[in-house]
Structure 1
Amino acid sequence: MPSGMAQDVVTGFLDGDKARGRPVGLAIDGTGALLIADDAGNTIWRVSAADGSVTPEPIPTDRIVDVAAEAAPAAEPAAAVQPGPVEPSQTEIALAVSPEDGAPAPPAQN
C-alpha cells in the first residue's frame, strides 16, 4: 500500500486550452522507470529518476500466479524416449449411430 503524499511527476500535457498529448496507459519497465503511452502524440514517454539513479535489479511487472499449477500434485516422470522410428498409433473408428433406432447411420452422400 502506498504511503506519503502524492506527487506530480509528469506535467505539461495540458497548456491552457491546448493538449500536447493524451496519456492513456502506464507501465513500469525493468529499471523502475515509468512508461506513459500517449495516443495523441503516438509516443511512449519514459520517465526515470531525476538524479539518474537506477534500481540494482529488474523489477518484475507481471505478477501472475498460476494457482492451479501450485496446487497440482507433482507429475510422474515421463517414460524414457527410445531412439528410432516412431510408429503412428492406431485410431479407433466407430460407426455413427442413428438417434431414432440405434442402427448404424448410412454414409453421407456427396
Structure 2
Amino acid sequence: MSIFEKGEKMLRAAYQFAARNIDYRRGETFLVHLPAKLGKTIFRYQNSSGITVREEQRDFILRSEDLNIEPMTGDEIVFDGEIFVVCAPNKEPCWRWHTRRNSEIRIHTKSVGRE
C-alpha cells in the first residue's frame, strides 16, 4: 500500500468523527441528506479596477460516492439551518477533486442566509 493510499484510508476513517450532516439541493427537484466535512478556501484575484480582492468561502468536502451528480453553480447546501449557494469567484470552478483518487470532492460555497 502506497503512502497516498494510506492517507486516503485515513481520510475515509475521519468521516466517522469529523463529518456533519448537510442537505444538498438542486432547485425543487433534487434533495439528498449526506455527511460532509467542513473546510474553507481563500480566493485572491484582481477586480476590474486592479484591486486585489481576498474572498474566503465555506467548503463542504463530500465523498464522491455519496453525491451522484456533478455540483453546479446555484445548487444549495443547507447546514445547521444556514443556506450556502454553490459558487466560486472570478470564474473559478465551483468544485474540485479533494483527493488524488477522486474519492472526495471539495465544493466551494457562499452563505446567503438562514432557512
Q: TM-score, normalised by structure 2?
A: 0.21
More contact order relative to length (CA 8 Å, sep ≥ 6): 2
Of Structure 1 and Structure 2, the greater strand share is in 2
Which has more radius of gyration? 1
- Say which structure is richer in helix: 2
